[in-house]
Amino acid sequence: MTILCCGEALIDMLPAATTTGGEGFVPHSGGAVFNTAIALGRLGARTGVLTGLSTDIFGQQLASALQASHVDTSLAITSDRSTTLAFVQLADGHASYSFFDESSAGRMLVKEDMPPLPADVSALFFGGISLACEPCADAYAALLAREGETRAVMIDPNIRAGFIQDEARYRARQEAMVAQADIIKVSDEDLNWIVSAPLSLREKVDVMLDKGPSLVILTRGSDGATGYLTDGSEVAVPAQRVQIDDTVGAGDTFNAGVMAKLSELGMLTKAALTNLSPDAAKAALAHGAKVAAVTVSRPGANPPWAEEI
């Protein structure tokens, strides 16, 4: 049973002091889908990644990081295009980003690049900016349409409005993908963007459930996470209290924890998720919260290994 994470892998260029007294940038491997794949690999789940990887030095850095965390890269699509770079500026603890993504190895994927998937790929994960940036967003949507019918599917829309150039196209693509998903994870901010009608969060969750998923997970930062099942059941787990270093990768690691626990329970299949019990859903959310708590307690998106949990 392999969980295939489909989406971006990029380099975060983080500011750092230099020995000469000025400031430079240090390349750190990242990207929402990359982080989820790394976390799954470290948790002991069989996982692979389907992404566009450059043959440049940054693409080699990403490939090495994935392999070091036991993530299978055999389905990655390599090219001599550049790696996406995200330069980070920090001001009063808040990060702003300048992305260099034009014609990159990840962004320029098209549906014809999407390989046939091996039979042992039992679950697909989609998320991050790769669902907003074209043409790769259309390529991943086409992959889901082609391969998702017999595999469990989890999507974290992780809305980044600044990347959406054509909102109508984005919403139509997202609507189609959500209808094919078994699990949708949204933050309260994501949910308010997706369902803009003046409804309560609970009513907006019902709108999402009506689109087809078996489980909608709503996360609210320090207020924890709640899972909603199609039979009306709700399960809530608190956020674990830890000394927070930074929150980079928290949601990505939470996603990995949820999928890893469902896989361990034998529930990460389309059929099993259709009849998911509240107890299994709660166990998955609690594991996600536990894994994310370790990540936020140390700098950077540095998910824990299984023995740390």
d(CA 4, CA 123): 6
According to CATH, what is the number of the domain 2-8+32-51+115-308?
3.40.1190.20
* Angle at 223 (CA atoms; ends 221, 227), nearest 5 degrees: 90
d(CA 57, CA 34): 17
User: Can you give the pLDDT at residue 98?
Assistant: 87
User: Can you give the pLDDT at residue 249?
Assistant: 63
Q: Cα dihedral sign for 128, 132, 135, 139?
A: positive
Report whether pLDDT(290) > 70.
Answer: yes
Domain ranges in the chain are 2-8+32-51+115-308
pLDDT class of 306 with cuts at 50, 70, 90:
confident
Full-model pTM: 0.93
User: Can you give the pLDDT at residue 92?
Assistant: 66
Report whether pLDDT(245) > 60.
Answer: no
Q: To 10 degrees, what angle do helices 32-42 and 250-264 make?
A: 40
pLDDT class of 40 with cuts at 50, 70, 90:
very high
* Listed residue (187, 185, 205) closest to 195, CA to CA: 205
Cis, bond preceding 135 (omega within 30 deg of 0): yes
* Listed residue (146, 14, 7) closest to 71, CA to CA: 7
Mean pLDDT of the chain: 91
* Angle at 186 (CA atoms; ends 180, 188), nearest 5 degrees: 145
Note the pLDDT tens digit of each residue in 104-131.
999 999 999 999 999 999 999 999 999 9
User: Can you give the pLDDT at residue 156?
Assistant: 96
Tokens encoding 233? 């059941």
d(CA 130, CA 297): 27
Burial class of residue 231 (count of CB atoms within 10 Å of its CB; 0-12, 13-18, 19+): exposed
d(CA 95, CA 92): 8
Note the pLDDT tens digit of each residue in 164-174.
989 999 999 99
> With the CA atoms of 159, 163, 164 and 170 taken in that order, what torsion angle do they form, in degrees rounded to the nearest 10?
-60
